[in-house]
Amino acid sequence: QTETGAVMMSPLPGVTAAKPGSAMRSIPGIEVDVVDNDGQSVPDGSGGFLVVKRPWPAMLRTIWGDDDRYVDTYWSRFEGMYFAGDGAKKDEDGDIWILGRVDDVMNVSGHRLSTTEIESALVSHPKVAEAAVVGAKDDTTGQAVCAYVILREVAAPTDAAAGEALIQELRQHVAHEIGAIAKPRQIMLVPELP
């Protein structure tokens, strides 16, 4: 985040083993956490909102000429905590993974799902080059996950049956990476993203 003015989270060389993709933990002197809708810390293995719990050196102190907007934007969602709008999750070890902006979140059957996290799960499949995820209106679940996927050149299906099999494979891959609730209702194999 450019608003923080400094590195806030990092593996500590020689102390912690790196986990590719994880922001890990806050550096000494910084107190970062993942909280739920009520501002309570979530347990390991859960997701929520990334917050900074105390002031820190180099922090953004205002928005030029608009102190009230600064307070409303960064300090009003969770009392006494700085929140810039990012979602995150703690893994089973308590290490933090940034999921992306919470305004890029879908609500599927009461579950908040990050479009960025679903896109990352799709792109982690060896046959996928790029992916974009959007929410579609659904009368039963509120929103449904829909994905546009560009395949790697060597992975292009040879016929409709192979294409359908690959779509099912990708749906299962997302379910394995995130959970069944994140499984896209529809995956469209496209030559370029819309």
Q: Using alpha carbons only, what angle is made at residue 165 by residues 162 and 170, rounded to the nearest 5 degrees?
A: 125
Pull the structure tokens for residue 18: 């790196």
| Amino acid at the residue 35 | V
- Strand boundaries in 46-110, DSSP class E: 47-52, 86-90, 96-101, 105-108
Q: How confident is the model at residue 116 (pLDDT cuts 50, 70, 90)?
A: confident
pLDDT in tens, 158-177: 899 999 999 999 999 999 99
| Residue 100: closest CA among 71, 75, 132 | 132
Tally of CB atoms within 10 A around 25? 19
Q: What percent of the chain has pLDDT over 90?
A: 49
> What is the residue whose two structure tokens read 């009392």?
79
| Segment holding 171, helix H or strand E | helix 160-177
Q: How confident is the model at residue 2 (pLDDT cuts 50, 70, 90)?
A: low
Q: What is the pTM of this model?
A: 0.56
| Residue 30: closest CA among 12, 57, 50 | 57
What domains lie within the chain, and their CATH numbers? Answer: 1-101 (2.30.38.10), 109-189 (3.30.300.30)
pLDDT in tens, 46-103: 889 999 998 888 888 888 888 888 888 889 889 999 998 888 999 999 999 988 777 6
C-alpha pair distances (Å), 119 with each of 80, 84, 113: 32, 22, 11
Supply the DSSP symbol for 170: H
| Residue 187: closest CA among 144, 137, 138, 124 | 144
Coil/strand/helix, residue 185: coil
Q: β-pairing, 111-114 with 105-108?
A: antiparallel
